[in-house]
Structure 1
Amino acid sequence: MPDEKEKGTKTSRWLKLPDAYGILFFFLVLAAIATYLIPAGEFQTEESAEGIDIIVPGTFSVIDSNPAGFLDVFQAIVTGLVSTADLIFLVLIIGGVFAVIEKTGAIDAMVTKIIKVTENREWLLIVVIMFVFSVFGTLGIIVNAVIAFIPLGIILARSMRMDAIIGVSIIYLGAYVGFAVAILDPLTVGFAQEIAGIPLFSGAPERSVMYAITLIVTMIYVIMYSRKLKRDQHGGILKDNPFPRENSEELTVGKQKMKPVHILVLLTLFLGIAAYVTGVFVAEWNLQEMAAVFLVIMVVTAIIGRIDINSMVSSFIQGAQGVLYGALIIGMARSIVVILEDGRILDTVVNGMAVMMEPFSSTMGAIMMLIGNGLFNLVVTSGSGQAAIVMPILGPLADIMDFPRQVAVQAYTMGDGFTNIITPLSGVLMANLAIAGVPFVKWVKFAFPLVLIWYTLGIIYLIVLVAIDFGPV
């Protein structure tokens, strides 16, 4: 008979939380089953000026079903990887480039400087880092590429003797609070406004106020959690294992003095990102140009840091390997949407949402848009993809419920953004957690109360926006 120790080992094996890939595969199977239970349907579409198919409201019809077969489930994974290849390779490239930058000691020197400036003022470090990434987020610059910055967040969290949740929060939540209440994001706000037929980036002053309030509240939430950790590093959600993917070695950060070479390397990184931001708004650059810019940053960094080509390549490969797990999970998450699209039930879900919201009017209708779109975002996590699907519905619904389409755009952006930080179908979220080693269930325990706070703020915003007739249209 097995002894008690063997029994305990077997039990713990069954109770162990599933890997992120396991969770996503479970949802993939559920999506495949749904293609047998939900009637297939489709809307008629028309092509926009950008070549994107836009749904024509009121054209939904039931069509022949196309349920997913056994092999389709696994083919969807391949399709998901292929369709997100540009983002996957961007993450790999950024991971590799940051490894080269780190080899120069510039990252360590920067962290040392930040730690020195914010010494014994952890709240200030959290505020500064979250603010910087929120600005990137509200401009739609590094929302997906934020994955590559998670290791930096972990380094900063270790320097403060916090935990991996803080490491993820100061980077990921910083970027996504900006994304959720975006001001000038061309792929969400801009695209949604174009579909709704209202001026591009109109309503920026009001959105700036909402962004500032939401950011401050989020900072306070993270700082309150950090203070619990400051009293006891093992008193947080991760308990006795504050850094699941870190070993027990002593901290190696905080000891590198800033040198001219470090300043030049960091300046190269800053100028590269600035060039990309300019390219986004001036030349409509996309992820491919961003990847190219980072490769240029790597080459210039190697020259400044006098890193020979063999060492540069070796560091790049090592850095890319470090984010490979997280990069591939993006395609895995996409495979679920592939199953829903191929099974022809995605439009049925959208139509059901439209039918449920139609009876509401004015303020309550706007709130239902926020909640409904938040629930829909649990399935379709692509901001621009979701805009193409739901905004053609939400725009006319706003007309029916007698409030400006600008309000519908705001309900869409918040609904899209708020649930991004808890949906397991978000490749970016699951990749961040995988890199940091934070179990999904543990993260949800931390983030779900914040989502409720965000939704409370969102409802208040919508009540005010409907009251002031937030226009145009």
Structure 2
Amino acid sequence: MDEQLPRKNRKKFAMPDAYIIMLFIMLLAALATYFLPSGAFDRVEQGDITVVVPDSFHTVAGDPTGILDFFLFIQNGMVETAGIIFLVLIIGGTFAVIESTGAINASIMKAVNKTKNREHLLVIFVGVLLAVGGLTGAISNAVIAFIPIGIILAKALDLDAIAGVAIIKLTAYVGFNTSFMSPFTVLIAQDIAGLPLYSGIIFRCIMTVVVFAGTLAYILWYIKRVKNDPSKSLMGENRFPKGDEKVSKDVQLEFTGKHKLILLFVGLMIVFYIVGALQFSWSLNHMAAIFLIISVGTGIIAKMSPNFVVKEFMGGARNLVYGALIIGLARAIVLVLQNGMILDTIVHWLAVAMEPFSSVFGAIAMFIGNSLFALLVSSGSGNAVVMMPILTPLADIMEVPRQVAVTAYQLSDGFMNSITPASGVLLACLAIGGVPWTKWVKFMIPLIVLWYVLSMIFLAIGVIIGWGPNY
């Protein structure tokens, strides 16, 4: 009996909290600053961008991370990502104000009732719209704003928060990741590689259609799985951590003129931001300002008291504090690598490792190598200006078409951004949806495998056909 007691009382293994995982990764990065050689590439200005000079890697004095530095980087990470952190809190507060009017629930229920027993059509329609938006690059960051709508749609369909985030985030990013016209990724990469802008459209369009179809099929499979058996949800029993109340299909919510006016106002303001982002290079700070305007405007249209608007706004923001702060912690990991002067070392080693490859295997090696780099640097444009000056001469040496090198960068960067904890946009989406990063990764693994298989096939075909600027 006495021998069995400890075994009975033994605690089951619990998955570490996301903050613990981030701190562990940050600790490994800090330790690496003591053991990895420090180095840097030379960089030069080319127009509005800074590019890496190929073959310019050289050793520099190291700066290992001390104990005080370790915790200072956490603070600095929070400061550097303050714009995204506050954007998450403001969006959470704004959508709490909008939800309190009943406008979103009523509109979603009307759409669900009109597509009764054909919910997949609604998901496909929403997915196509977001994929088109992703193609332009306009909603690469603005996708954060649509996550609350995905969550409400998932509640109406009796799914889970993962499905809600996936319907919005993944469909938008398929368009963005395979785009032939995004100014933030493919156009920068083509310019650095010396290719005509917007070249390779036909092949890229084929990629977009195939990858989008595969992604949508996976999302619909997961939706069907959860709908048939809610216990199969990866979220467990608490399918909607940010409020598990369900939108009952039996309750007929009247979609009033006031509801329509509120949603029209919200839609116009989001379109206004997208236009501003494209025409005037508006930042995430502008998006935050737009959502504050939406909060005020919604309160006025719904004839709410100022005190009620503030109460709802603060309640919505409070629910997202946990997920918002982890964005700063993820940034701290990159700061450790940068300040320890080992980030360029890692890039250099990747370049050296890829040199022996040629042709098809060389293209695949570029793809895998850049995927590893994208785990640390989640900025698509930042990745392009660092890696394309390295990948371009590598492609010439390995007889890989430069168009393929651009695509190897583009696909690896985009797909890795869907799981890397270094992506502030991803963490913001998960924070708003209440989805733990660990559960999101578990959901994403099969899709990542599919994406990588498709990517390698397309890269191989690109090499075999000698993919150039004309198709």
TM normalised by structure 1 equals: 0.91
In the TM superposition, what is the alpha-carbon distance from 1:48 to its structure 2 partner? 3.2
State the alpha-carbon separation in 2 of the partners of residues 101 and 246 from structure 1. 15
Per-residue CA distance 1:299-330 (angstroms, 9 max, x = gap): 33232222233322332222222222222221
Matches within 5 A, 1:62-101: 62-101=59-98
Give the CA deviation at 1:165: 2.4
Equivalent position of 2:422 in the other structure = 425
Q: Are the aligned partners of 2:154 and 2:161 in contact in 1 as well (CA < 8 Å)? A: yes
Q: What is the aligned partner in structure 1 of residue 58 from structure 2?
A: 61
Gaps of 5+ in 2: none
Q: 1:10 to 1:421 in 2, by over 3 A?
A: farther
Inter-partner Cα distance in structure 2 for 1:53 and 1:411: 21
- 1:205-224 equivalences under 5 Å are 205-224=202-221
Letter aligned with residue 56 of structure 2: T
Residues 87 and 144 in structure 1, CA contact (< 8 A), matched pair in contact too: no
1:243 alignment partner, one of 239, 244, 253: 239
Q: Which amino acid aligns with 2:383?
A: Q
Corresponding residue of 2:357: 360
Q: Are the counterparts in 1 of residues 19 and 326 from structure 2 also a CA contact under 8 Å?
A: yes
5 Å-filtered alignment, 1:345-424, equals: 345-424=342-421
Asked if 2 retains the 8 angstrom alpha-carbon contact of 1:20 and 1:434, the reply is no
Aligned residue pair count: 469
**Rounded Cα–Cα distance in structure 2 between residues aligned with 1:293 and 1:420:** 25
211-220 or 323-332, which deviates more: 323-332
Q: Secondary structure of the equivalent of 1:359?
A: coil
Contact 1:420–1:429 (CA<8 Å) still a contact in 2? yes
Cα distance 1:154–1:275, how it changes in 2: closer, same or farther (>3 A)? closer
2:133–2:139 contact (8 Å) kept in structure 1 = yes
The answer on 1:164 being equivalent to 2:161 is yes
Which AA in structure 2 matches 1:283? F
CA 1:440–1:215 in structure 2 vs 1: closer, same or farther (change >3 Å)? same
Corresponding residue of 1:36? 34
Alpha-carbon distance change, 301 to 469 in structure 1, aligned in 2, over 3 angstroms: farther
Q: Which consecutive aligned stretches of 4+ in structure 1 deviate over 6 angstroms post-superposition?
A: 1-7
Task: Say whether the 8 Å CA contact 2:88–2:432 is kept in structure 1.
Answer: no
Moved more, 149-158 or 384-393: 149-158
| Structure 2 equivalent of residue 302 of structure 1 | 299
Instruction: Report the Cα distance in structure 1 between the residues aligned to 2:34 and 2:253, rounded to whole angstroms.
Output: 59
Contact 1:91-1:145 within 8 A present in 2 as well: no
Is 1:130 aligned to residue 119 of structure 2? Answer: no
Question: Percent of counterpart pairs with the same letter?
Answer: 48
What are the Cα deviations for residues 203-225 of structure 1, in whole angstroms up to 9, with x where unaligned? 33432221121111111111112
Q: Shift of residue 28 of structure 1?
A: 0.5
Please report how far the alpha carbon of residue 184 of structure 1 lies from its aligned counterpart in structure 2 after TM superposition. 2.8
Give the Cα separation in 1 of the matches to 2:278 and 2:465.
Answer: 30
Normalised by the length of structure 2, the TM-score is 0.91
SS in structure 2 of the partner of residue 54 of structure 1:
strand
- Report what 2:103 is aligned to: 106
For 1:347, what is the secondary structure of its paired residue? Answer: helix
Q: Is the 8 A contact 2:97 2:312 kept in 1?
A: yes
**Distance between the aligned counterparts of 1:2 and 1:156, measured in 2?**
53
Distance 1:277 1:184 in 2: 15
Distance 2:201 2:319 in 1: 38
1:344 aligns with 2:341: yes
**Equivalent of 1:48 in 46, 49, 64:** 46
Q: For residues 334 and 208 of structure 1, what CA distance do their matches in structure 2 show? A: 33
Root-mean-square deviation over aligned CA pairs: 2.6
Unaligned runs of 5+ in 1: none
Contact 1:24/1:425 (<8 A) preserved:
no
The aligned runs of 1:7-46 (5 Å cut-off) are 11-12=11-12, 15-46=13-44
8 Å CA contact 1:198–1:406 kept in 2: the answer is yes
Q: 1:285 aligns with which of 258, 282, 285?
A: 282
Q: Which moved more, 1:302-311 or 1:52-61?
A: 302-311
Structure 2 Cα separation of the partners of residues 348 and 122 of structure 1: 49
Q: Is the 8 A contact 1:112 1:257 kept in 2?
A: no
Q: Which residue of 2 aligns with 1:203?
A: 200
